[in-house]
C-alpha cells in the first residue's frame, strides 16, 4: 500500500461520518441464532431435496451464456419456469439485481418509466441507468398512477412489486393492471417476495390472481422462497430475445454454473407441494401474539414479512442487538432506507419457525421495552 494513500484517507473519513450517523454496516454470522431475518420463507435453503445426483460435465460456466456458458441445464430450467408461470419464455439472470437493472434497456429516450415510490433499489438503479424519462407515483395508489401516465410519453413502462419487502403489503394488482390497460402502458411486476408464498402452487400473486395476460413481464427471484440464487424475467419470446441482445448485465456476466440451473428446476418442481398452510398458520399465530406487546406497534401485514415499528435508528439497532445477544436474529431497518420515524425491526417468518420461538421473541421484546 502506498505510504501516501490519499484515497484511503478520504474513504476512512466517509466511513467515520457514517458511523457518527449511526448508519455503519457490518457483516455478521447468524447461523446459531433463531432465524427471523432471512427470506427463506419455505425453508428450501435447508432442504435435502435440493441435493442432486446430477453431475454436470463442468462445474464452472466458463463464460457468459453468449460465449461458452450456455448449457442444456439452463435451457431446460427456463422452459420449466415459463411453463410454470404460463408465459411464452423466461430468461435466467445471475441475481434479482441483475434482472431488475436489465430492465433499463427496454426504454429509449422518448419513452417513460413510471415507478411506485417504494420499489426495490435494484429497479431504481435500473431506471437510473436508462436514458428514458422517469416518473414515480404514490405507493400502491392506482389513481396517482393514472395521473402520472397521462404525463408520460412514448412507450410507458410501469414498475411495481407484488409484495413489498419493507412493509409486507401487497400491491392492488388488478387495479394497477386496469389502469395500465386504459393508458396503453406495460406493467412489469417484481414477484421476488411473493413467488413460493402465494398461489395454490406458489406461483406468486400475478398467477394467483390470474393476471398473466394483463402483465407484460414478471421478475421471479430465486434467493427468497426458493432458497437459491439468481432470478428470471418471464414474458414473451420477443422480450427474451431482446434481453439476450441488449441487457448488459446478462451479456457481460459469466453465467451461473450448470448445477445451479438444475437446482432451480428442482426447487420449482417442489413449489406446488410446499407447506404454505403451515406458513400462514404461523403468520396468524404471530399476529395474535403481537397483542402481548404494549410499547411498540406492528405493521399490518398478512405476509411472512412483519414489521415492529421502533422510532429512531439508535433504538432499532439496540433492539436488534439485544435480541441477537439473546439468540434471536431479526434485522433493524433504518432511515433513510425507510422514512424517518418508521424505523423498524423487520421480522420474517418461515415454515421452520415454531410457536415457541415466536413466544420467546415477544418475551424479549417486552423485556427490552421495560
Q: Which residues pair with 91 in a beta bridge?
A: 233
Residue 235 neighbours by CB under 8 Å, 6+ apart: 87, 88, 89, 90, 216, 217, 218
Residues 246 and 323 placed together within one structural domain of the fold:
no
CA-nearest of 231, 251, 272 to 77 is 231
Last residue of a domain, one of 272, 302, 331: 272
Residues 172 and 35 placed together within one structural domain of the fold:
no
Give residue 130's pLDDT.
95
Residues 200 and 148 placed together within one structural domain of the fold:
yes
Cα(295)–Cα(309) distance, integer angstroms: 10
Q: Which of 78, 111, 116, 190 is catalytic?
A: 190
Cα(113)–Cα(163) distance, integer angstroms: 20
Asked whether residue 17 is assigned to any structural domain, the reply reads no
Asked whether residue 4 is assigned to any structural domain, the reply reads no
Question: Domain of 84: which CATH number?
Answer: 3.40.640.10
Q: Which of 136, 224, 317, 350 is catalytic?
A: 224
Residues 304 and 335 placed together within one structural domain of the fold:
yes
Give residue 3's pLDDT.
60
Question: Domain of 301: which CATH number?
Answer: 3.90.1150.10
Q: Which of 111, 161, 167, 203 is catalytic?
A: 161
Residues 69 and 216 placed together within one structural domain of the fold:
yes
Residues 192 and 327 placed together within one structural domain of the fold:
no
CB-side exposure of 295: number of CA atoms within 13 Å? 13
Last residue of a domain, one of 255, 272, 289: 272
Give catalytic status of residue 39 as yes or no: yes
Residue 333 neighbours by CB under 8 Å, 6+ apart: 166, 307, 316, 343, 344, 345, 346
Give residue 1's pLDDT.
57
Cα(306)–Cα(349) distance, integer angstroms: 8
Asked whether residue 333 is assigned to any structural domain, the reply reads yes
Cα(140)–Cα(201) distance, integer angstroms: 25
Q: Which of 193, 240, 317, 350 is catalytic?
A: 193
Q: Is residue 308 classed as helix, strand or coil in its secondary structure?
A: strand
pTM of this prediction?
Answer: 0.93
Number of domains forming the structure of the chain: 2
Give catalytic status of residue 269 as yes or no: no
Give residue 247's pLDDT.
97
Confirm if 31 and 241 have CB atoms less than 8 A apart.
no
CA 128 to chain centroid, in Å, comes to: 19
Cell reading at 70:
450456455
Give catalytic status of residue 120 as yes or no: yes
Each residue's pLDDT tens digit, 162-183: 999 999 999 999 999 999 999 9
Give catalytic status of residue 95 as yes or no: no
Give catalytic status of residue 224 as yes or no: yes
Asked whether residue 226 is assigned to any structural domain, the reply reads yes
List, as one string, the DSSP characters of 94-111: SSHHHHHHHGGGG--TT-
Give residue 227's pLDDT.
96
Asked whether residue 7 is assigned to any structural domain, the reply reads no
Give catalytic status of residue 70 as yes or no: no
Residues 106 and 32 placed together within one structural domain of the fold:
no
Confirm if 314 and 24 have CB atoms less than 8 A apart.
no
Residues 160 and 251 placed together within one structural domain of the fold:
yes
Asked whether residue 9 is assigned to any structural domain, the reply reads no
Rg of the chain on CA atoms, in Å: 22
- Beta strand 305-309 pairing with 186-190: unpaired
Q: Which residues pair with 331 in a beta bridge?
A: 346
- CA-to-CA dists, residue 46 to 38, 151, 205, 274, 353, angstroms: 12, 48, 24, 13, 12
Cell reading at 343:
424505523
Confirm if 98 and 233 have CB atoms less than 8 A apart.
no
Q: Can you give the residue range of the structural domain that contains 30?
A: 24-42+275-369
pLDDT in tens, the chain (370 residues): 566 789 999 999 999 998 888 888 888 888 899 999 999 999 999 988 877 666 777 788 889 999 999 999 999 999 999 999 999 999 999 999 999 999 999 999 999 999 999 999 999 999 999 999 999 999 999 999 999 999 999 999 999 999 999 999 999 999 999 999 999 999 999 999 999 999 999 999 999 999 999 999 999 999 999 999 999 999 999 999 999 999 999 999 999 999 999 999 999 999 999 999 999 999 999 999 999 998 899 999 999 999 999 988 999 999 999 999 999 999 999 988 888 889 999 999 999 999 999 999 999 999 998 8
Q: Which of 85, 120, 240, 317 is catalytic?
A: 120
Q: Which of 95, 100, 102, 165 is catalytic?
A: 165
SS3 of 206-222: the string is: HHHCCCHHHCCEEEEEC
Q: Which of 35, 39, 85, 240 is catalytic?
A: 39
Give catalytic status of residue 270 as yes or no: no
CB-side exposure of 32: number of CA atoms within 13 Å? 5
Amino acid at each position: 500500500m502506498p505510504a501516501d494513500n490519499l484515497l484511503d484517507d478520504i474513504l476512512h473519513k466517509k466511513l467515520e461520518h457514517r458511523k457518527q450517523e449511526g448508519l455503519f454496516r457490518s457483516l455478521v454470522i447468524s447461523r446459531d441464532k433463531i432465524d427471523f431475518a432471512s427470506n427463506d420463507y419455505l425453508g428450501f435453503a435447508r432442504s435435502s431435496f435440493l441435493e442432486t445426483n446430477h453431475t454436470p460435465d463442468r462445474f464452472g460456466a466458463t463464460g457468459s451464456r453468449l460465449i461458452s456458458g450456455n448449457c442444456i441445464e439452463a435451457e431446460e430450467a427456463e422452459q420449466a419456469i415459463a411453463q410454470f408461470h404460463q408465459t411464452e419464455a423466461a430468461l435466467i439472470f445471475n441475481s434479482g439485481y441483475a434482472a431488475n437493472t436489465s430492465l433499463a434497456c427496454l426504454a429509449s429516450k422518448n419513452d417513460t418509466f413510471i415507478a411506485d415510490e417504494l420499489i426495490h433499489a435494484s429497479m431504481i438503479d435500473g431506471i437510473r441507468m436508462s436514458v428514458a424519462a422517469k416518473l414515480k407515483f404514490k405507493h400502491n395508489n392506482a389513481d396517482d398512477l393514472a395521473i402520472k401516465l397521462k404525463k408520460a410519453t412514448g412507450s410507458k413502462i410501469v414498475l411495481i412489486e407484488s409484495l413489498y419487502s419493507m412493509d409486507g403489503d401487497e400491491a392492488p394488482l388488478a387495479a394497477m393492471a386496469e389502469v395500465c390497460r386504459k393508458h396503453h402502458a406495460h406493467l412489469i411486476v417484481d414477484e421476488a417476495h411473493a413467488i413460493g408464498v402465494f398461489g395454490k402452487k406458489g406461483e406468486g400473486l400475478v398467477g394467483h390472481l390470474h393476471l398473466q395476460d394483463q402483465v407484460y413481464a414478471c421478475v421471479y427471484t430465486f434467493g427468497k422462497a426458493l432458497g437459491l440464487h439468481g432470478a428470471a424475467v418471464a414474458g414473451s419470446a420477443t422480450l427474451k430475445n431482446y434481453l439476450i441482445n441488449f441487457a448488459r448485465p446478462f451479456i457481460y456476466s459469466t453465467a451461473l454454473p450448470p448445477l445451479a440451473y438444475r437446482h432451480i428446476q428442482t426447487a420449482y418442481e417442489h413449489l406446488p407441494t410446499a407447506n404454505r398452510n403451515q406458513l400462514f398458520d404461523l403468520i396468524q399465530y404471530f399476529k395474535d401474539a403481537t397483542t402481548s406487546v404494549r410499547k411498540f406497534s406492528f405493521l399490518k401485514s398478512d405476509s411472512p414479512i412483519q414489521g415492529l415499528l421502533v422510532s429512531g435508528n439508535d433504538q432499532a439497532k439496540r433492539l436488534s442487538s439485544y435480541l441477537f445477544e439473546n439468540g434471536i436474529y431479526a434485522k433493524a431497518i433504518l432511515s433513510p432506507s425507510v422514512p424517518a420515524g418508521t424505523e423498524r425491526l423487520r421480522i420474517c417468518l418461515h415454515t421452520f419457525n415454531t410457536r415457541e420461538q415466536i413466544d420467546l421473541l415477544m418475551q424479549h421484546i417486552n423485556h427490552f421495552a421495560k
